[in-house]
């Protein structure tokens, strides 16, 4: 049987639903989500294998219009690198309206000349459904980079199968790169750290999550329980009290939510201990970024 395999970049501006789409396709959560932008910091591979076709999805960070630190600049480089290596790209935009930052992503796609499908996400939230076809016509007139248009809902999966069918059709003949039962290239240790970071994104205010990150210090696998020790880095001493909360209440809630989700991921009981430490300037430090798995 002839095998087909290709790399597909999922790109788009921040907070448009890229990770939600990938998780829906895989029927498993490998990329964290929140309503806040800049949630995704890492390039993550998601592996979707059908009978003879393997789609290797690259979930990229949202494009940063004005990168403020070394972390943001690295995230932008990850997007550019992903586009230089793939067979096809799926760009997500919001079906409710085009955004100025979408134009920046289109500019990248035009530079790389990658075959691109446009997925108009959140179609279920479009109040006037009759606007969808005229919007597609307008975009088609404005841009030549998009080969096909797919109204979808990444959250529910509506329209996603049609998008997948087109991607399968476009994949080149090539042997599969990964075993058929593998879902991601990332380790369970990495996924545990991302789950903890997701909880900080969801519980903390609008600005503080971007000044925090998570380091998994140690994982001890025992017969009936897995013990995980992690640290949340903050940028300033004053932020530690915010993350911990009064009498440790906020950290307890975040840790409990993270532990329950990690138990579902690992299929075992989990003991989770999380500390909060100050790591000044970590987002601008190549050494600190290397510690959390981001390298130039």
Query: Per-domain residue ranges for the chain?
Result: 4-170, 188-291
- For the stretch 169-200, pLDDT in tens is 999 999 998 899 888 888 888 889 889 988 88
In whole angstroms, what is the distance from residue 100 CA to residue 11 CA?
15
- For the stretch 108-158, pLDDT in tens is 888 888 899 999 999 998 888 888 899 999 999 999 999 999 999 999 999
In whole angstroms, what is the distance from residue 54 CA to residue 177 CA?
8
Mean pLDDT, each 10-residue run in order, the chain (296 residues): 89 86 88 55 78 87 53 61 80 92 88 91 88 91 95 94 96 92 87 88 70 87 93 86 88 94 92 90 62 55
Angle between helices 160-170 and 18-26 (to 10 degrees): 80
Note the pTM of the prediction, 2 decimals.
0.75
In whole angstroms, what is the distance from residue 85 CA to residue 235 CA?
34
In whole angstroms, what is the distance from residue 40 CA to residue 34 CA?
9
Q: Give the pair of three-digit tokens for residue 171.
A: 């994949």
* DSSP single-letter state for residue 184: B
CATH number of 188-291: 3.30.300.20
Topology at the third CATH level for domain 4-170: Rossmann fold (3.40.50)
């Amino acid at each position: 049987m002839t095998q087909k395999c290709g790399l597909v970049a999922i790109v788009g501006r921040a907070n448009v639903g890229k990770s939600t789409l990938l998780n829906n396709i895989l029927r498993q959560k490998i990329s964290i989500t929140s309503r806040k932008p800049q949630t995704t910091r890492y390039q993550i591979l998601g592996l979707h294998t059908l009978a003879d076709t393997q789609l290797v999805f690259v979930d990229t960070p949202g494009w940063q219009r004005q990168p403020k630190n070394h972390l943001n600049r690295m995230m932008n480089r990850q997007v550019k690198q992903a586009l230089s290596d793939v067979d096809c790209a799926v760009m997500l935009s919001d079906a409710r309206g085009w955004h100025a930052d979408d134009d920046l992503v289109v500019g990248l796609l035009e530079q790389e000349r990658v075959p691109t499908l446009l997925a108009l996400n959140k179609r279920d939230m479009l109040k006037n459904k009759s606007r969808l076809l005229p919007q597609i016509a307008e975009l088609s007139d404005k841009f030549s980079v998009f080969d096909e248009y797919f109204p979808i809902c990444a959250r529910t999966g509506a329209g996603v199968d049609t998008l997948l069918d087109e991607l399968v059709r476009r994949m080149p003949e090539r042997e599969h790169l990964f075993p058929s039962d593998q879902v991601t290239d990332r380790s369970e240790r990495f996924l545990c750290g991302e789950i903890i970071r997701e909880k900080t994104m969801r519980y903390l205010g609008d600005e503080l999550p971007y000044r925090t990150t998570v380091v998994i210090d140690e994982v001890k696998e025992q017969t009936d329980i897995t013990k995980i020790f992690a640290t949340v880095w903050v940028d300033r001493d004053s932020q530690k009290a915010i993350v911990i909360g009064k009498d440790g209440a906020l950290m307890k809630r975040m840790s409990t939510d993270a532990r329950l989700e990690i138990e579902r991921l690992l299929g075992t009981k989990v003991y989770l201990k999380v500390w909060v430490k100050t790591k000044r300037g970590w987002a601008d430090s190549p050494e600190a970024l290397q510690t959390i798995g981001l390298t130039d």
